[in-house]
Amino acid sequence: MRAALAEARAGLGAREVPVGAVVVIDDVIVGQAHNASIALVDPTAHAEVLALRAAAQKVGNYRLPGATLYATLEPCAMCCGALIQARVARVVYGAPDPKAGAIESRHRLLDDGRLNHRVEAQGGVLGAECGALLKEFFEGKRG
20, 10 contact by CB (below 8 A): yes
DSSP strand pairing (120-122 vs 90-95): parallel
Whether residue 129 lies in the annotated active site:
no
72, 133 contact by CB (below 8 A): yes
Q: How far apart are CA 15 and CA 37, in angstroms?
A: 10
Catalytic residue among 7, 16, 48, 74: 48
Residue positions annotated with a catalytic role? 48
